[in-house]
Structure 1
């Protein structure tokens, strides 16, 4: 290898390494910005209504976003691969009703089996999405928009206009949402544990690194030998599994479940993920960022309630947050591309 070629290769490696550091730095700045925004909201609302600053209210905020946060972990992995799952709300709703209905008709069923049933059903629904997108090569936004309505329709068919109420299910099922672990509500513990596990897997495992590589540059990833279809299928499968688990918790928390359960959850999940700095164009973002996004949106929701403002503002805020985050991601992506190109030319 000639000296000139060696220098070119070294220059490329330096540019690539610098690019990765730059992307990581931008991500940390986004997360730090979210923390600043969160603290500003807490301070402003706290001045208006001191009840907002009580430990009980902070616990209520975390409880309100715990189920959303679990689904957001799965959505994050899907979006990292330049895809999106719009069917998560329908998956949560179907698993919530099916699991509650099974307990209604078979109240002696162990709760652990109900949890496994919910996870299995969610995984199957996620696998259907994965097959359509990964093997069928159907754009994810089209495929999951279709399954959003398909799963909701199946849920309505199964429910047949009925609902399951709190008195129809055993207390052992409801305790999933009411019990405490070391003084912390179980829902918060479940969400935190899942976030930590998947954050570690994305950061420390080969598969996690491959997801980032696939999202950053799909063509280069394929040329490097990554099995893109398998990775995409895996993310949809895991997203479905986590949505299924969230569905079980939804049934336990809200007790009364019908075919309309979790309607609109997909908008809240996507808002939390993209506001949290997970690039809608794939390749960058963290579980921590998605959790911060969920907490910020949950805090805004709680503040609207305490300030006695219309909850219709929440949907407007979610929509505006998605538009702002996607626009910011597009600007950041273009800036990074320019910096990387200029680095390669040096």
Structure 2
């Protein structure tokens, strides 16, 4: 059946099986309240995975998303300490994240530096900037206002605001990627950049826009992360970029660019979210999470390569015996 060949359907089925397997050992895991918590815990990963997916679609990669998150989160905490109103803080972190993403995009576009090199460098720069801003000091819960901490935790219609923000971003970028010229240009640039040029698409500019979107989502996630956990410091979300890339790859986004979907990125994030929440429940050390994420990347890339490998032309045929 064609439906069984659909990557998203198979991944959704795998998530259901995974939840069922955990529930067999720990039935409380499938209670509605706990499943809501799992989705809410996964919301930051979903937001970053959507931004990363758009960058990967254009044949690039953004390894600085977690450092961008940490820097914008620290900026949000410091602004809150200065008495800046929350709406202005939200606008500031989104603009700041987008600007940090634009730095990556411009270096890739104007200087032609490979994205992996650029974002490895800016990842370190952004972390270092946090240290320069604070001298290594933490911003703790007692230094944050109640309103600042309350927003992502406020429950509306059974879901925390952070989950509603994730759902809104999913819907927004699903429409952008499937119904707008900008969304089609992301796929065109990643699928065949040379053909994209002939259709009037500026490849470098499109890649830069992708980095800006990824950075803006990282900035928004920075506030949500810091406000929810009520702490900001240099190493917030350290290593989280691996989880983000893993979510994209598991969700079927082709590292070579040009293929992938918002639904796939979300399902990849949920797959990892269920694993990360289930490991402590079934008695497996959380230190295995990084190993599992790394293994998932390797396996998913191998599967993608096998499925997408073009068939070679037969130029020599075996001579049939007379």
Query: For 1:15-43, what per-residue CA distance to the aligned partner results, in whole angstroms no more than 9, with x for missing partners?
Result: xxxxxxxxxx7997111110111111111
CA pair 76-26 structure 1, distance change in 2 beyond 3 A: farther
d(CA) in 1 for partners of 2:174, 2:91:
23
Pair 1:41-2:18 in alignment:
yes
* Structure 2 gap segments, 5+ residues each: 315-322
Tell me the number of residue pairs that the alignment of Structure 1 and Structure 2 aligns. Answer: 313
Quote how far apart the aligned CAs of 1:51 are: 1.5
d(CA) in 1 for partners of 2:270, 2:144:
30
d(CA) in 1 for partners of 2:239, 2:213:
20
Q: In the alignment, which residue of structure 1 is the partner of 2:318?
A: none
8 Å CA contact 2:47–2:218 kept in 1: the answer is yes
d(CA) in 1 for partners of 2:4, 2:10:
10
Quote how far apart the aligned CAs of 1:225 are: 2.2
Query: For 1:84-134, what per-residue CA distance to the aligned partner results, in whole angstroms no more than 9, with x for missing partners?
Result: 000000000000111101212x23x21000001111110111000000111
Q: In the alignment, which residue of structure 2 is the partner of 1:322?
A: 297
Secondary structure of the residue aligned to 2:311 is helix
CA pair 27-271 structure 1, distance change in 2 beyond 3 A: farther
Query: For 1:291-329, what per-residue CA distance to the aligned partner results, in whole angstroms no more than 9, with x for missing partners?
Result: 001111010111101012111111111001111111112
Secondary structure of the residue aligned to 1:338 is coil
Match of 2:64 among 84, 87, 106: 87
Pair 1:255-2:230 in alignment:
yes
8 Å CA contact 1:27–1:285 kept in 2: the answer is no
8 Å CA contact 1:27–1:284 kept in 2: the answer is no
Match of 1:338 among 300, 311, 322: 311
d(CA) in 2 for partners of 1:318, 1:178:
27
CA pair 26-268 structure 1, distance change in 2 beyond 3 A: farther
TM-score, structure 2 normalization: 0.94
Match of 1:208 among 175, 183, 194: 183
Match of 1:187 among 159, 162, 173: 162
8 Å CA contact 2:49–2:248 kept in 1: the answer is yes
8 Å CA contact 1:27–1:277 kept in 2: the answer is no
d(CA) in 1 for partners of 2:131, 2:303:
38
Pair 1:304-2:304 in alignment:
no
**What is the Cα-based RMSD across aligned positions, in Å?**
1.7
* Structure 1 gap segments, 5+ residues each: 1-24
d(CA) in 2 for partners of 1:199, 1:124:
23
8 Å CA contact 2:69–2:222 kept in 1: the answer is yes
Q: In the alignment, which residue of structure 2 is the partner of 1:236?
A: 211
8 Å CA contact 2:52–2:61 kept in 1: the answer is yes
Q: In the alignment, which residue of structure 1 is the partner of 2:141?
A: 166
8 Å CA contact 1:80–1:211 kept in 2: the answer is yes
Query: For 1:206-247, what per-residue CA distance to the aligned partner results, in whole angstroms no more than 9, with x for missing partners?
Result: 111111111111112123321101100100011101100010
8 Å CA contact 2:130–2:136 kept in 1: the answer is no
Match of 2:103 among 128, 139, 142: 128
Query: For 1:238-283, what per-residue CA distance to the aligned partner results, in whole angstroms no more than 9, with x for missing partners?
Result: 1101100010111111111111111111111111111011111111
8 Å CA contact 1:76–1:290 kept in 2: the answer is yes
Match of 1:99 among 51, 76, 86: 76
Secondary structure of the residue aligned to 2:121 is helix
